[in-house]
Structure 1
Amino acid sequence: MLTVVQLDDEVPLDRFAEWLDGVTLRLVRADQGEDIGPVDAVDGLIVLGGNMSAHDDQLPQIPAARTALTEAVAAGVPTLGICLGAQLLAVATGGRVHVDAPPGREAGTVALRWRPEAQSDPLLGALAADPTVVMPTMHSDAVVDLPRTGTWLASSPMYPYQAFRVGNAWGVQFHPEASPELLRRWAVADQLPADEADAMVTAAREADERVARDGRTLAEAFAARVRDHVRHR
């Protein structure tokens, strides 16, 4: 069973729910007090994004998610952290996150710059074969130091650490699951100026055929990792 941890009501699994083929999903609403449970008993783990920071320990779901990520890495459970989930993965494994990083908000669609290590990566390698991948994004906090054991996989023009791997766990700062409609909701929630939000959503819609294709590729590759983990347990 693939456990999906939702940290924020406004940041759901969105289109990944239809793209994670061949696995059973278990949604844990950590933002509503649901317990993640023993991580070594799950087949895979996804930790989603949220409007809080990786250091907001007054919210019980944040330290709980960090603990789950630490345990998942130690147990070799296939893991994917998205946006805040990636930042939590970095902190949980010895990296560092800057809250309200100086470059400012990265919002809309972002062009990924693949590192050489991405070409042979078991999760992102299929995407890294294309040098023109773009993905949705919406964040102000950022990973500024990778864990010592981390492998740097992708950057963007604004922020260096767009994707990395630690053992059998991946963190992506971008949102491969997000539709243009979800980006619109985030823009409204973050009170972006109307003209900025309109331009962002228009660009996302124009790129969405490619984004959906590549998001599905990533989701299917991760589901395959989960199925392989189950077979070799």
Structure 2
Amino acid sequence: MSGERLLILQLAASDPPGRLADWLADAGLDPDIQDLSAGGALPAHLTGHAGVLVLGGPMGAGDDQRAPYLPAVRGLLREAVSREVPALGICLGAQLLAVAHGGQVARNPDGPELGAQLIAKRSAAATDPLFGPMPITPDVIQWHYDAITRLPPGAVQLAGSPTCENQAFRLGRLAWGIQFHIETTPDVVRAWAAADAAELTGYDLERIVQRAAAVHDDVLEVWRPFAAAFAEVVRAPEQVAPPRGVRTSTAAPVTDPAAIRAALAAEAAAASRPGVLPMPGVRPPDDE
């Protein structure tokens, strides 16, 4: 194993890399974890790293006043896509990847997704180097209020859910975003529930926490190989073929209407949208 350095950007103390950092280290990478919320080093460029991983956090993708380092994180994600440096965004990290390239993020109109859930792969995932070997409906941990309401032009949708269409996507050749969490531990989820208790009155938070704890072994079984596949991309990016569809914008957001229509048409052709599968219910019957 060659030990290529992977820059891991932790955006909040409440969302550490957890066991994902261990999986990536076991797969041969050298995790360089920088907690930006605690003053961690944010490099100006990615030249010293073979890949970048951006984690989640309670702020929004545009909350630059709350988290002044977010513009620089978006800049690094633009550099990753333009220079074809392997990149993975998780939850807020995926939202930052999307908005950095012309996508849109807003409050999820169907409400928050919380705890143990299933996502459903789309047909374009079959040939994806990370999602191809995954089960059709893998277990994940969710904890988000915002959602990617429009993917960047040229992005390929890889997975969705009944209450959040854009659960996973690929941008360019070597960048992926996943709206859900794979790095958590039961203690982390319990801490999130405690922190959000005032906002989630009416939700059975204890049940949500218990269900999340019960599914963590399944998450490990499914997503540890995913982490290993991403590590392989970081080690040998030249072996990865580009996805089907229109090449993603790598600088300023695409604003030309004709270009946007062409990109969205290519996306629709590349990723069919089959009927969604049922997911475990985590909300009370009267929740809206």
CA–CA separation in structure 1 for the residues paired with 2:161 and 2:113: 10
Length-normalised TM-score, structure 1: 0.93
Runs of 5+ unmatched residues, structure 1? none
User: CA contact under 8 A between 1:43 and 1:230: conserved in structure 2?
Assistant: no
Distance 1:24 1:230 in 2: 19
Structure 2 CA distance for partners of 1:211 and 1:194, relative to 1, 3 Å:
farther
Say whether 1:48 aligns with 2:52: no
Find the residue that maps to 2:53 and give its secondary structure: strand
Q: 1:142 aligns with which of 140, 144, 147?
A: 147
Query: In the alignment, is residue 174 of structure 1 matched against residue 180 of structure 2?
Result: yes
Please give the alpha-carbon distance, in whole angstroms, between the structure 2 residues aligned to 1:146 and 1:27: 28
Residue 92 of structure 2: aligned partner = 84
Task: Say if 1:79 and 1:170, in contact at 8 Å, map to a contact too.
Answer: yes
Matches within 5 A, 1:82-231: 82-98=90-106, 100-127=107-134, 130-167=135-172, 168-191=174-197, 192-193=200-201, 196-229=204-237
**8 Å Cα contact 2:121-2:137 kept in structure 1:** no
1:32 Cα deviation from its structure 2 partner: 2.6
RMSD: 1.8
Does residue 1:23 correspond to 2:26, yes or no?
Answer: no
Change in 2 beyond 3 A, CA 1:194/1:212: farther
Distance 1:38 1:195 in 2: 42
Larger radius of gyration: 2
The secondary structure found in structure 1 opposite 2:47 is: helix
Shift, 1:91, TM fit:
0.3
> What are the ranges of 5 or more consecutive residues in structure 2 without an aligned counterpart?
241-288
Amino acid at match of 1:187: A
2:68 corresponds, among 49, 60, 82, to: 60
SS of corresponding position for 2:204: helix
- Give the aligned residue type for 2:89: G
User: When the two structures are aligned, how many residues end up with a matched partner?
Assistant: 229
Q: Structure 2 CA distance, aligned partners of 1:62 and 1:198?
A: 32
Give the AA of the match of 2:83. Answer: A
For 2:182, the aligned partner's letter is P
Write 1 or 2 for the structure with the bigger share of helix.
Answer: 1
2:161, 2:119 → 1: CA distance? 5
Query: Which residue of structure 1 lines up, in the alignment, with residue 18 of structure 2?
Result: 14
Counterpart of 1:202 in structure 2: which amino acid?
A: Q
Q: Is the 8 A contact 2:108 2:164 kept in 1?
A: no
Aligned-pair CA distance for 1:105: 1.0
In structure 2, what residue type is equivalent to 1:86?
A
1:195 deviation in Å?
A: 6.7
Q: Secondary structure at the match of 1:175?
A: coil
Task: Output the amino acid matched with 1:41.
Answer: G
AA matched with 2:164: Y
| SS of structure 2 residue aligned to 1:126 | coil
Is contact 1:43-1:229 (8 Å) kept?
no
Structure 1 residues 19-57: Cα deviation after superposition (integer angstroms, max 9, x where no partner): 012011111122233223311331010000000000011
Deviation for aligned residue 1:231: 9.4
For residues 152 and 106 of structure 1, what CA distance do their matches in structure 2 show?
A: 19
Amino acid at match of 1:200: I
**Partner of 2:130: helix, strand, or coil?**
coil
Q: Spell out, residue by residue over 1:102-138, the C-alpha distance to the aligned partner (whole angstroms, 9 max, x if none).
A: 21111011211110001110111111xx223110010
Q: Do the aligned residues in 2 keep the contact of 1:107 with 1:136 (CA within 8 Å)?
A: yes
